Amino acid sequence: MKKILLFVLIIILIVVGLGYLALSGKVPSLTNAALKQVELGVRETPDEIYSFYDDIGYVNNLKGETPKSGELVFEGGIELDHTFTQSEINSWIAGWEKDWSDLPFKNSQIRINGDGTVEASSSISIPVAESFAKMLGYTQEDINKAKTYLKYIPDPLPLYAKGRASITENNAIYDIESLKIGGYTVPNSLNNSLADLLENITAKTRELSSYTNVKEAIVTSEGVKFVGTVPASVDIK
């Protein structure tokens, strides 16, 4: 289920990619930036997505009184043709934040606009993001290079992004219109480079589950139209 909505993962992908952009000297120090998270006003509880899990037969073995920690293990497959509303998406995010302590973002929000753009706001934990990068398959050498510059970045780090995204036959395309890291607006000239990086990391993220097959994930006026296969259960290794 983790990759039902790869649009949501743009938040995680940005923090991993930030280190590589910084490594090339394109992102300045953010130490003195205004570090208030952008509020989109769309917070939800996990209750709605828990009910959806029950409806489709998805087994969430992470759910409990306290968040679980460890590497994710997905099993089985569920065919799905569903339009996820903005409310369901934010409930899904809230569920992951509640159930899995290794998720590198907190207080995350997704807003879908009538023009087809998606806005995302979150606060990222840099150390947890490093661990997540390892789970995605990035080498320690890659991470150490990024950490050389990440140490100059405040933690937690507020991020805001606005843009468009779609997935067809497992191929993701990102079109970033605006990105703010802390109080700093990243120059538009970097958007194409970052979009390419996001697509690469999205491919790595898909490798966490061989059961996931995204035939189509497209933003509509009602939400995100998803057609494909998602895992039937999640647990901790």
Place of tokens 């390892």: 134
Domain positions in the chain are 10-236
The pLDDT mean for the chain works out to: 77
Residue 27, helix vs strand vs coil: coil
Q: Which of 198, 26, 231, 225 is nearest to 120 (CA)?
A: 198
Judge contact between 234 and 76, C-beta under 8 A: no
7-21, 26-40, 124-138: range with lowest mean pLDDT:
7-21
List pLDDT tens digits, range 116-173: 999 999 887 766 666 666 666 667 776 666 666 555 566 677 888 899 888 888 888 8
84-99: pLDDT as tens digits: 999 999 999 999 999 9
pLDDT tens digits, one per residue of 56-71? 999 999 999 899 998 8
d(CA 161, CA 163): 7
For residues 156 and 201, the model is more confident at 156
pLDDT at 117: 92
pLDDT level of residue 22 (50, 70, 90 thresholds)? low
Q: Report how far apart, in Å, the C-alpha atoms of 54 and of each of 51, 62, 142, 199, 220 are.
A: 5, 14, 39, 31, 25
State residue 33's pLDDT score.
Answer: 46
Question: What pLDDT, on the 0 to 100 scale, is given for residue 80?
Answer: 94
Q: CB-based burial of residue 165 (10 Å sphere; 0-12 exposed, 13-18 middle, 19+ buried)?
A: buried
Residue-level pLDDT at 149: 53
CA distance linking residue 194 with residue 7, whole number of Å = 15
- Residue 91: per-residue pLDDT: 96
Contacts of 212 (CB under 8 A, 6+ apart): 3, 74, 206, 228, 229, 230, 231
Give mean pLDDT, residues 104-113.
89
What CA–CA distance (Å, rounded) separates 78 from 192?
Answer: 34
Name which residue leads in pLDDT, 195 or 159: 159
pLDDT category of residue 31 using cuts at 50, 70 and 90: very low
In this prediction, residue 82 carries a pLDDT of 95
Q: Where residue 221 falls among pLDDT bands split at 50, 70, 90?
A: confident
For residue 23, the tally of other CB atoms under 10 A from its CB is 16
pLDDT score at 72 = 86
